[in-house]
Structure 1
Amino acid sequence: MPRPRPSAIWLREEPVRKPRLSRERITRAAVELLDVEGVEGLSMRRLAARLDAGTMSLYQYVGSREDVLDLATDEAVAEIAIDDVEGLPWRAAVSQQMGRGRQVMLRHPWLPTLMSTRPLLGPHALARSELVYALLRGAGLDGARLTAAVGALTYYVQGYAAMENTWRGLRHEPAAEADLRRRAQEHLDRAAERHPTLARHADLGNDDFDASFQLGLDVLLDGIEAQLGPRA
């Protein structure tokens, strides 16, 4: 039987060790390795080699590879700036945060997957969650509606960034991407009798990720704003 995973690293104290390594150094090296190799390419052995250290020495600072992934996730989330939202209307501030989150996930293609598969209890993740909750609470949401709104926004950004990273990873040449989109649209056109709505309205030729992301985000924000009623 698989061994149960210990409690999240954020719920355990950092051990006092000799200063040659630290959680901070290990975390920075892990982010760099993830950017190059992805999640599957991160191993304790490779991480130790990047730090010019022995593999077993890492376990004096972290308990497992999962701990390293938790730390790296929070380190990357820290790049989502939160220090200049004061004075913005709630909708503009939330839109800004979601857009910044997407940009960070594009810089770190491994991030959307990790954010959706582990508890985000690190200090940077909690600070950003606090901001989004506070913005929507200040707009008038509370209870289950507040939680649902935060979840809808979060999962939209993670899913969109994951899709965009996958697409860009598969299609490096603009000409090849345009050709694929053209052939896909032609395929839908030929299937118009069976799928008339798709053939007419699924715009497979649209390659403007920025505009499409913002439009989808605006649809979500419109729905959230509709929940607020006249007070908004």
Structure 2
Amino acid sequence: MPESIWLRDDDRPRRPRLSRERIVEAAVALLDAEGAAGLSMRALAARLRAGTMSLYEYVRSKEDVLDLALDEVIGEIEEPPEPGPWRDYLVRQLTQSRAVMRRHPWVPALTATRPLLGPNALARSRPFYAALASAGLAGPALTAAVGTLTSYVNGFVAAENIWWARIRTPAADAELRGAVAGHLNERMADLARLAQVDNGDFDGQFLLGLDLILDGIAARLPPETS
């Protein structure tokens, strides 16, 4: 794996007409439009109306660009002004994380392929860990809780993004769910009743699933903090 930009001292000289900030802004726009597969140094240079080689005055590689773009959009998650109840804090932060991943569908896959060591990522990771630690988790249980919550949000939004990329509109979603529900009712009414495939409330499903995980975490906390 290429060395992460965050693990080296990389203060390269800058040409005045470009900047790392402009490159990152263009990269985020390109990723939003084309996805990670559509990002290349040539495509990025074309978007900036610059020569491809000029980008290498600011970054070493496409991997640098991906690291920088990912940290940039993580910065859209608001930092909490004051620590509050651990559960309220986690729900707030993870709901914002979902919103960021919905705006930038390329994010879930990238977060699983690289260390999140940029300044925005670290600024949000520290209070996230601290919230669970202050509630009473430590050691492997703390690490597992953070990993489980992160995986839940990433997985939920990755599936949500794929679904909406194919289905496109709420009307099409409702039509397909109705057809599936009708099919199950005719063949396996008990499964149709249990599965409730006609429920298209993604927001409600997300929060309910998150509550179930948080209930499990709360069950492991000391009684005075759960």
Q: What TM-score, normalized by structure 1, do the two folds share? A: 0.91
Q: Tell me the residue number matched to 2:111.
A: 115
Can you list the C-alpha shifts for 1:36-69, whole angstroms capped at 9, x where unaligned?
1111111111100111110011112111111111
Q: Confirm whether residue 152 of structure 1 aligns to residue 145 of structure 2.
A: no
Give the counterpart letter for 1:225 in structure 2.
A
Contact 1:189–1:199 (Cα < 8 Å) also in 2: yes
The counterpart of 1:134, out of the listed 130, 133, 137, is 130
Q: Are 1:143 and 2:139 counterparts?
A: yes
Alignment partner of 1:78 is 2:75: yes
Secondary structure of the 1:229 match is coil
What CA deviation, in whole Å up to 9, does each residue of 1:137-160 have, x standing for no partner? 011100000000001111111111
| Separation in 1, partners of 2:2, 2:208 | 41
Alignment of 1:209-224 (within 5 A): 209-224=202-217
Alpha-carbon distance in 1 for matches of 2:159, 2:11: 36
CA distance, structure 2, for counterparts of residue 206 and residue 109 of structure 1: 23
Q: Structure 2: how far apart are the matches of 1:72 and 1:8?
A: 13
Please show how residues 1-232 of structure 1 align to structure 2 within 5 Å.
5-12=1-8, 13-84=10-81, 86-192=82-188, 196=190, 198-232=191-225
- Give the drift of 1:22: 2.2
2:180 is aligned with what amino acid?
A: A
1:114 maps to a residue whose letter is: L
Q: Is the 8 A contact 1:62 1:68 kept in 2?
A: yes
Partner Cα separation in structure 2 for residue 7 and residue 191 of structure 1:
54
Q: TM-score, normalised by structure 2?
A: 0.94
Count of residues in correspondence between the two structures: 224
Q: How large is the Cα RMSD of the aligned pairs?
A: 1.5
Q: Is the 8 A contact 1:140 1:231 kept in 2?
A: no
How far apart in 2 are the matches of 1:174 and 1:94? 28
Point out the more displaced range, 165-174 or 68-77: 165-174
Structure 1: give runs of 5+ residues left out of the alignment.
none
Runs of 5+ in structure 2 lacking a partner? none
**Change beyond 3 A, Cα 1:6–1:167:** closer
Query: Between the two proteins, what is the percent identity of the paired residues?
Result: 58
Deviation (angstroms), 1:190? 4.0
